[in-house]
Homo-oligomer: A and B are copies of this chain.
Amino acid sequence: MIPLDPLIKSLSRLPGIGEKSATRLAIQIFRDTTGLAQDLIKSLVHITEKVVFCQKCQNISEQDICDICSDTSRNTHLLCVVQEPVDLMMIEKTSEYKGLYHVLHGAISPLDGIGPEDLRVRALIERVSNEDIQEVILATNPNPEGETTALYLKKLLSASNTAIKISRIASGIPVGGTLEYADPKTLARSLGYRRDF
Protein backbone atom coordinates (compact mmCIF):
# COMPACT_ATOMS: atom_id res chain seq x y z
CA MET A 1 0.00 0.00 0.00
CA ILE A 2 3.00 2.27 0.47
CA PRO A 3 2.52 4.08 -2.87
CA LEU A 4 -1.03 5.05 -1.86
CA ASP A 5 -0.04 6.06 1.68
CA PRO A 6 -0.10 9.84 1.16
CA LEU A 7 -3.63 9.63 -0.27
CA ILE A 8 -4.78 7.24 2.46
CA LYS A 9 -3.43 9.65 5.08
CA SER A 10 -5.20 12.66 3.51
CA LEU A 11 -8.48 10.78 3.19
CA SER A 12 -8.24 9.61 6.83
CA ARG A 13 -8.30 13.27 7.84
CA LEU A 14 -11.88 13.53 6.57
CA PRO A 15 -14.47 13.31 9.35
CA GLY A 16 -15.98 9.85 9.74
CA ILE A 17 -13.39 8.14 7.53
CA GLY A 18 -11.04 5.74 9.29
CA GLU A 19 -7.92 4.09 7.93
CA LYS A 20 -9.76 1.05 6.52
CA SER A 21 -12.27 3.17 4.61
CA ALA A 22 -9.53 5.51 3.44
CA THR A 23 -7.54 2.54 2.09
CA ARG A 24 -10.60 1.24 0.24
CA LEU A 25 -11.35 4.68 -1.20
CA ALA A 26 -7.73 5.26 -2.26
CA ILE A 27 -7.64 1.93 -4.10
CA GLN A 28 -10.96 2.71 -5.82
CA ILE A 29 -9.75 6.16 -6.86
CA PHE A 30 -6.51 4.72 -8.19
CA ARG A 31 -8.26 1.90 -10.01
CA ASP A 32 -10.95 4.13 -11.52
CA THR A 33 -10.64 4.67 -15.26
CA THR A 34 -13.29 7.37 -15.67
CA GLY A 35 -11.23 10.37 -14.54
CA LEU A 36 -12.40 10.40 -10.92
CA ALA A 37 -9.01 11.53 -9.56
CA GLN A 38 -8.84 14.37 -12.10
CA ASP A 39 -12.42 15.36 -11.21
CA LEU A 40 -11.58 15.46 -7.52
CA ILE A 41 -8.43 17.51 -8.13
CA LYS A 42 -10.35 20.00 -10.30
CA SER A 43 -13.17 20.45 -7.82
CA LEU A 44 -10.78 20.72 -4.86
CA VAL A 45 -8.76 23.37 -6.69
CA HIS A 46 -12.07 25.14 -7.40
CA ILE A 47 -13.02 25.35 -3.74
CA THR A 48 -9.57 26.49 -2.65
CA GLU A 49 -9.45 29.21 -5.31
CA LYS A 50 -13.01 30.34 -5.96
CA VAL A 51 -15.18 29.60 -2.93
CA VAL A 52 -15.35 31.98 0.04
CA PHE A 53 -17.62 32.79 2.97
CA CYS A 54 -20.24 35.48 2.22
CA GLN A 55 -19.08 38.58 4.11
CA LYS A 56 -22.63 39.20 5.36
CA CYS A 57 -24.36 35.90 6.12
CA GLN A 58 -21.19 33.72 6.32
CA ASN A 59 -22.72 31.16 3.96
CA ILE A 60 -20.56 29.46 1.34
CA SER A 61 -20.43 31.61 -1.77
CA GLU A 62 -18.54 32.34 -4.97
CA GLN A 63 -18.94 36.10 -4.45
CA ASP A 64 -17.99 38.31 -1.50
CA ILE A 65 -21.71 38.89 -0.99
CA CYS A 66 -23.82 35.82 -1.78
CA ASP A 67 -26.86 35.60 -4.05
CA ILE A 68 -29.33 35.59 -1.15
CA CYS A 69 -27.79 38.62 0.59
CA SER A 70 -27.72 40.60 -2.66
CA ASP A 71 -31.28 39.62 -3.67
CA THR A 72 -33.24 42.89 -3.29
CA SER A 73 -36.59 41.11 -3.35
CA ARG A 74 -35.97 39.51 0.05
CA ASN A 75 -37.20 40.83 3.39
CA THR A 76 -34.14 42.48 4.95
CA HIS A 77 -35.85 42.98 8.32
CA LEU A 78 -36.03 39.25 9.03
CA LEU A 79 -32.91 37.24 9.91
CA CYS A 80 -32.86 33.48 10.33
CA VAL A 81 -29.86 32.08 12.27
CA VAL A 82 -28.84 28.52 11.38
CA GLN A 83 -25.99 26.26 12.46
CA GLU A 84 -24.85 24.96 9.08
CA PRO A 85 -24.92 25.86 5.37
CA VAL A 86 -26.93 22.69 4.82
CA ASP A 87 -29.65 23.98 7.20
CA LEU A 88 -29.96 27.14 5.11
CA MET A 89 -30.30 24.96 2.02
CA MET A 90 -33.07 22.90 3.64
CA ILE A 91 -35.02 26.05 4.58
CA GLU A 92 -34.58 27.44 1.05
CA LYS A 93 -36.05 24.21 -0.31
CA THR A 94 -39.31 24.88 1.57
CA SER A 95 -39.75 28.14 -0.47
CA GLU A 96 -41.61 29.50 2.57
CA TYR A 97 -38.98 31.88 3.91
CA LYS A 98 -38.11 35.15 2.19
CA GLY A 99 -35.89 36.81 4.80
CA LEU A 100 -32.11 36.77 5.17
CA TYR A 101 -29.87 34.23 6.91
CA HIS A 102 -26.89 34.07 9.20
CA VAL A 103 -24.80 30.88 9.32
CA LEU A 104 -23.01 30.17 12.61
CA HIS A 105 -20.94 27.23 11.29
CA GLY A 106 -21.55 25.09 14.34
CA ALA A 107 -23.18 25.13 17.76
CA ILE A 108 -21.88 25.61 21.28
CA SER A 109 -20.69 22.25 22.56
CA PRO A 110 -18.45 22.34 25.65
CA LEU A 111 -17.85 18.57 25.39
CA ASP A 112 -16.31 19.06 21.93
CA GLY A 113 -14.50 22.19 23.07
CA ILE A 114 -16.63 24.46 20.87
CA GLY A 115 -17.45 27.79 22.47
CA PRO A 116 -19.16 30.94 21.10
CA GLU A 117 -15.78 32.28 19.94
CA ASP A 118 -15.55 29.36 17.47
CA LEU A 119 -18.83 30.38 15.81
CA ARG A 120 -19.70 33.37 13.62
CA VAL A 121 -21.36 35.12 16.55
CA ARG A 122 -19.51 38.44 16.43
CA ALA A 123 -20.53 38.92 12.80
CA LEU A 124 -24.15 38.27 13.83
CA ILE A 125 -24.05 40.89 16.60
CA GLU A 126 -22.52 43.40 14.17
CA ARG A 127 -25.27 42.76 11.63
CA VAL A 128 -27.99 43.18 14.21
CA SER A 129 -26.40 46.50 15.26
CA ASN A 130 -25.79 47.84 11.75
CA GLU A 131 -28.67 46.48 9.65
CA ASP A 132 -32.35 47.27 10.09
CA ILE A 133 -33.32 43.85 11.44
CA GLN A 134 -36.60 43.61 13.32
CA GLU A 135 -36.81 39.90 14.05
CA VAL A 136 -34.18 37.21 14.55
CA ILE A 137 -35.44 33.63 14.16
CA LEU A 138 -33.16 31.23 16.03
CA ALA A 139 -33.25 28.09 13.87
CA THR A 140 -30.51 26.08 15.57
CA ASN A 141 -31.31 22.39 16.06
CA PRO A 142 -33.69 21.43 18.90
CA ASN A 143 -30.98 19.26 20.51
CA PRO A 144 -28.79 20.10 23.52
CA GLU A 145 -26.10 21.93 21.51
CA GLY A 146 -28.61 23.86 19.42
CA GLU A 147 -30.75 24.77 22.43
CA THR A 148 -27.69 25.98 24.36
CA THR A 149 -26.66 28.08 21.37
CA ALA A 150 -30.17 29.54 21.01
CA LEU A 151 -30.30 30.47 24.71
CA TYR A 152 -26.85 32.03 24.52
CA LEU A 153 -27.75 34.10 21.44
CA LYS A 154 -31.08 35.20 22.93
CA LYS A 155 -29.26 36.63 25.95
CA LEU A 156 -26.59 38.32 23.83
CA LEU A 157 -29.01 39.77 21.27
CA SER A 158 -31.45 41.06 23.90
CA ALA A 159 -28.58 42.81 25.65
CA SER A 160 -27.25 44.43 22.47
CA ASN A 161 -30.60 45.52 21.04
CA THR A 162 -33.64 45.64 23.32
CA ALA A 163 -36.07 46.52 20.50
CA ILE A 164 -35.41 43.40 18.51
CA LYS A 165 -37.91 40.53 18.41
CA ILE A 166 -36.32 37.10 18.98
CA SER A 167 -38.17 33.92 18.02
CA ARG A 168 -37.39 30.21 18.01
CA ILE A 169 -38.51 27.57 15.49
CA ALA A 170 -41.22 25.24 16.80
CA SER A 171 -40.67 21.64 17.89
CA GLY A 172 -43.49 19.10 17.76
CA ILE A 173 -44.88 16.01 16.10
CA PRO A 174 -43.57 15.92 12.50
CA VAL A 175 -46.20 16.40 9.79
CA GLY A 176 -47.49 12.93 8.89
CA GLY A 177 -46.30 11.53 12.23
CA THR A 178 -48.36 9.98 15.03
CA LEU A 179 -48.55 10.72 18.76
CA GLU A 180 -48.21 6.99 19.41
CA TYR A 181 -44.62 6.92 18.17
CA ALA A 182 -43.53 10.37 19.32
CA ASP A 183 -40.98 10.50 22.12
CA PRO A 184 -42.21 12.09 25.38
CA LYS A 185 -40.02 15.19 25.07
CA THR A 186 -41.25 15.99 21.56
CA LEU A 187 -44.85 15.42 22.66
CA ALA A 188 -44.38 17.69 25.67
CA ARG A 189 -42.84 20.36 23.43
CA SER A 190 -45.68 19.94 20.96
CA LEU A 191 -48.19 20.64 23.76
CA GLY A 192 -46.16 23.56 25.05
CA TYR A 193 -46.02 25.12 21.57
CA ARG A 194 -49.79 24.66 21.02
CA ARG A 195 -51.57 27.53 19.29
CA ASP A 196 -55.10 28.83 18.76
CA PHE A 197 -57.04 26.84 16.21
Contact = CB atoms under 8 A, between A and B. Distances in A.
Given A1-B89, A3-B51, A10 B36 contact: yes
A30 interface: yes
Contacts of A27: 60, 84-86
A31 interface: yes
B36 A13 contact: yes
B40 A11 contact: yes
A10, A26, A51: residue with the most chain B Cβ atoms closer than 10 Å = A10
Contacts of A173: none
Majority SS at the chain A contact face: helix
A15 B28 contact: yes
A46 interface: yes
Nearest to A38: B48
A50 interface: yes
A2 B46 CA distance: 12
A41 interface: yes
Contact of A29 (B44, B50, B62): B44
A44 B41 contact: yes
Interface of A: 1-4, 6-7, 9-11, 13-16, 21, 23-31, 36-48, 50-51, 60-62, 84-86, 89, 105
